[in-house]
Amino acid sequence: MGGMRVPGMIYTSDKMLGNIGTDQSPKQVANVAHLPGILKYSMAMPDMHWGYGFPIGGVAAFDLNEGVISPGGVGYDINCGVRLMATRLFFGDIKDRLHDLVTALFQNIPTGVGSKGSLKLSVSEEKKVLREGASWAVARGFGEAGDLETTEDRGVMEGADPDLVSDRALDRGKQQLGTLGSGNHFLEIEVVEEIFDETAARAFGLELNQVAVVIHSGSRGLGYQVCDDYLARMVKTMAKLDFQLPDRQLACAYLASDAGRRYLAAMACAANYAWANRQMLMHWTRETFERTLRKSPRDMGMRLVYDVCHNIAKIEEFVIDGKKKKVCVHRKGATRALPPGHRALPDRYRAVGQPVLIPGDMGTGSYVLVGTEKAFHETFGSTCHGAGRVMSRSQAKKASRGRSIVREMADRHVIVMATGKGTLQEEIPEAYKDVDSVVDIVHNAGLSKKVARLRAVGCIKG
């Protein structure tokens, strides 16, 4: 395609080729390749689907001097991510109390569109959250210092400047900290049902029939507003730049410009809000398990395996053409997958690599993978982030009309509770690609390797 500065690369399989081209995501891969300063490839993972500007599942890295940063390459839900907690419990320990557990979680974890948490932050305190991230929550008793060790970047992105976040964004965020949200966000009780890599599983503390919890949430209304604010500004200034875009949704600014630096600093604030949010959700999940099952923290043993973000842009270092180079990696619906030995890994995982957390669609469970050297050299240390939609939300609602999704999930031995019927209709399993196939592609491509599969037994949604 004329104007592409680098080739496009899509990771897929013969089985999944039929889904490619049913939306505009391949064209979006090509569009991203037009952006100044892009390095090596414009990439998309096998869970790719149409998004705003960049495809969801898109990965692109940019030169810090000649390249750009694009809010569409991060997404509206900045630092939407996944957190996996393991326990000392096995399925037999909770089987008879599962309904009670799901009910208690649904009562204690605020869910739904516009949901509000029990905290109401002052502006000055909210700005501390935006600077400090997960450590703000831990310092106020929402969790333990050890949780930070196994959170990506220890739960804080440097360079955050709350003064660059609008009053509207601050207002949207002041009562949403510690809330799950709606859409594809969920909190799920899962059980380890298969181990593929004994060494990595042992390092991650995972074993067969073990009870675990997966939390999928992001930066809520604050992150959405940050994206919206900066997209509007960049759209207005695009005519002044020395290049043309194939799609105005790719509105961007040079990384070295004041506009680029301001967006990166505001985006970091939203990322830190999301890490604090998931930290608080984990704390209340711990408390709910302990109270419902009447077990001590020691007996429960709920600990954070890892927390990964999958809507972010980060300055990271890679070897390109034989030289170390710092670049800005956009991962929109993609997960970082660091190899063994990387200095950013916690000591406990350095010998095996980074835990990679891949949730499936509602009620199907999740995968744990591990980062590889090949991903570090081929995809800027990136892999897939989930199953990926094949139906729009309106299509899913139409397909689920007249059905009882709660009963269908119960027939699959999954207890589901949600704030609204519409969310369950939008999130039906057939609205997503087969997560097993998606994971097989990145596993066979060597971008991340399978460690364990977990099946869902209970789920709460907004």
Q: Which residues are catalytically annotated?
A: 385
* Domains of the chain: total: 1
The residues with which 304 forms a beta bridge, in sequence order, are: 85
Reported pTM: 0.96
Distance CA 206, CA 200 (A): 9
Yes or no: say if 180 and 115 are a contact pair by the CB < 8 Å rule. Answer: yes
Question: Residues of the chain whose pLDDT is less than 50?
Answer: 1
- CATH number of the domain at 101, please: 3.90.1860.10
3 within a domain of the structure (yes/no) = no
User: What pLDDT score does 21 carry?
Assistant: 63
User: What pLDDT score does 2 carry?
Assistant: 60
Note down the domain range covering 391.
8-461
User: What pLDDT score does 119 carry?
Assistant: 84
The residues with which 323 forms a beta bridge, in sequence order, are: 320
Yes or no: say if 255 and 61 are a contact pair by the CB < 8 Å rule. Answer: no
2 within a domain of the structure (yes/no) = no
User: What pLDDT score does 402 carry?
Assistant: 84
- Is the Cα torsion angle 93, 97, 98, 104 positive or negative in sign? negative
317 within a domain of the structure (yes/no) = yes
Bridging pattern class, strands 38-49 and 8-10: parallel
1 within a domain of the structure (yes/no) = no
74 within a domain of the structure (yes/no) = yes
The residues with which 56 forms a beta bridge, in sequence order, are: 49
pLDDT digits (tens, 9 = 90+) for 276-310: 999 999 999 999 999 999 999 999 999 999 999 99
Between the alpha carbon of residue 210 and those of residues 59, 357, 415, 452, the distances in Å are 33, 16, 18, 11
Residue with token string 């800027």? 380
396 within a domain of the structure (yes/no) = yes
pLDDT digits (tens, 9 = 90+) for 87-131: 999 999 999 999 999 999 999 998 867 777 778 899 999 999 999
